[in-house]
Structure 1
Amino acid sequence: METQAMEAMEQARRWLSDQGVVEAGEGWVEADRPDWPLTANDVAHSWVDKVFREESLTPTEQLWLAFGLLDLLDDYWVTCVIGSAYGDADRPLPSDVLWDGYRRRLEAQRDAEPVTYSLWVDWFEDRDTAAMAFAEVLGNDIERVVTERSDALLRRADRVLDNSGPVPWSIKQGTYEIAARLPALHGSLFQGLLGSYHDVYGDLEPKPALALLMQLDLPEDTPHLAQLRSVLAAGHENHYRSPDAWDDAAASNA
């Protein structure tokens, strides 16, 4: 993955250079305006969408170039442009390439914050895309994750579970239950359950969520563990539907 990422970044760097954009110190400049510094976010907003107008590139090549720009710029806006281009019915992009790009970056050792944030707010919060996205980045592979237990697969699972709060319970419950077989994933499963309760778009069913929570091998002093047990035992589905329940649980467990 790291070699491929480096190659993708070099391709992206060459492409930006062809557009007249080059690195300068810790930022960027246009070659004809070297005294006007640009941030990575400036570059992302101004140039990434042009990738998908490069008619000399196939849709697959466009996607790989865009992912190279994501690696190079490390900016969330690149994922927004990729998502928008993916939704363009006039020139559809290949789903397998899109999700392979996400999976590779979720498995990489380097920070994946733009990718995880993209999953959380763009793909998982949208009821039209949550099932597909969750299946592609974890649901389809969860048995392999639990069986193989490689560092890369565990990194991907941890990152997805941490941000899976908005995914509908009916979609993620089976994946959660399989993940619970592996103690190494119990911490991220807890974060997933916590997000399922606290996120504005979080989704869970209290009874099975509590049963799952009770299976997790967590230190008793894990922050918010006692409160989550209490609100689920009381049948609460979401913090925003019962805004006082969490404070009441905190007080009773003090």
Structure 2
Amino acid sequence: MERHGAVEAARHWLAVNGVHQVPGGWVSDEKAQAPLTPDQVARRWAGDVFAEDLDAADQVRLAFGLLDLLDAYWVTCEIRFADEGPDGPLPQDVLWDGYRRRLEAARDAEVVTYSLWVDWFEDRATCARAFAEVLGNDIDRVVTERSQARLRRAVRVLECSGPVPWPVKERAYEVAARLPALHMALFRGLRAGFHDVYGDLEPAAALELLDRLDLPPGTPHLARLRQVLAAGHRNHHRSPGAWQEATD
């Protein structure tokens, strides 16, 4: 089901459930005079997708269509709840294809990257699987083929990969470093690895990688990051004064 078809299927499903898009928002047949935000629609109805009389793969596709239609983070929460629920896991090929397609799309993907960051990457039980599915498994192909869609996905994943444990992401980082188009995203991933509450870096290896990146002169915080890594600091929250003591 392509994106347009998925969106229209989601719109039809909402309409069957008495929810309709109107100028400025959404309304339900239950309270036609009370406009709803996309987030309110997601919180009220997104979970019901996984109770539909559909096979699990089509439920996932419908949920992603709802995500495309509403652009609401809560839809991704319901997808994860279903994956971890009593009827889970969801079909993994369909689940992760849904994430990859949206990471590759030209449209804004902030909701998708936020979902990866706070739900999949910060959770030590799911971070390795999630990172492998959205980038680690095909990073060589991304760097070799260099299609715009795959590069877009790589940039987005690298930038939100701070919480992913260093042993999980190290090889992908090393391969990505071969391609200058990914260097700024790698820098942002390294910086997030230092600052994120759940960030994870190996200081010596991260510094060696950082020194190989071709970054614009005067890149903000580059000198500071180099200093804290050279001093052996792994994370801002383990060394709370290190960043302030470093200078650009």
TM-score range, shorter chain: over 0.9
Distance 1:149 1:165 in 2: 23
Asked if the contact 1:107/1:153 (under 8 Å) is kept, the reply is: yes
The CA distance in 2 between the partners of 1:145 and 1:30, in whole Å, is: 43
- 2:188 — aligned with what? 191
Tell me how far apart the structure 2 counterparts of residues 93 and 242 of structure 1 sit (CA, whole Å): 39
Matched, 1:139 2:139: no
Deviation at 1:219, TM superposition (A): 1.6
CA distance in 2, matches of 1:95, 1:227: 40
- Name the residue aligned to 2:40: 42
Gaps of 5+ in 1: none
Q: Deviations over 1:131-169 (max 9, x none)?
A: 000000000010000000000000000000000000000
Conservation of the 8 A alpha-carbon contact between 1:177 and 1:212: yes
Match of 1:85 in 2: 82
Larger CA deviation: 119-128 vs 88-97: 88-97
13, 16, 39: which one pairs with 1:15?
13
1:44–1:73 contact (8 Å) kept in structure 2 = yes
Give, in whole Å, the separation in 1 of the partners of 2:101 and 2:82. 20
Q: Name 2:2's counterpart in structure 1.
A: 4
Q: For 1:158-212, what per-residue CA distance to the aligned partner results, in whole angstroms no more than 9, with x for missing partners?
A: 0000000000000000100000000000000000000000000000000000000
| Aligned Cα root-mean-square deviation (Å) | 1.0
* Structure 1 segments (4+ residues) deviating >4 Å: none
Taking structure 1 as the reference length, the TM-score comes to: 0.96
The alignment status of 1:125 with 2:122, answered yes or no, reads yes
The answer on 1:71 being equivalent to 2:80 is no
Conserved? CA contact 1:20–1:30, under 8 Å: yes
Alignment length (residue pairs) = 248
Q: CA deviation at 1:29?
A: 0.2
- Which whole-Å CA distance do the structure 1 matches of 2:178 and 2:115 have between them? 27
The structural deviation recorded for 1:4 is: 1.5
Give me the whole-angstrom Cα distance separating, in 2, the residues matched to 1:121 and 1:129: 11
One-letter amino acid of the structure 2 residue matched with residue 52 of structure 1? F
CA distance in 2, matches of 1:97, 1:182: 29
Give the share of equivalent positions with the same residue, in percent: 64
Looking at structure 2, the residues matched to 106 and 141 of structure 1 have their Cα atoms a distance apart, in angstroms, of 14
Q: 1:59 aligns with which of 40, 53, 56?
A: 56
1:59 touches 1:92 (CA, 8 Å); kept in 2?
no
Gaps of 5+ in 2: none
Q: Secondary structure of the residue that 1:69 maps to in structure 2?
A: helix
Encode CA deviations 1:64-108: one digit per residue, 9 max, x unaligned. 000000000000000000000011133431011000000000000
**Corresponding residue for 2:106?**
109
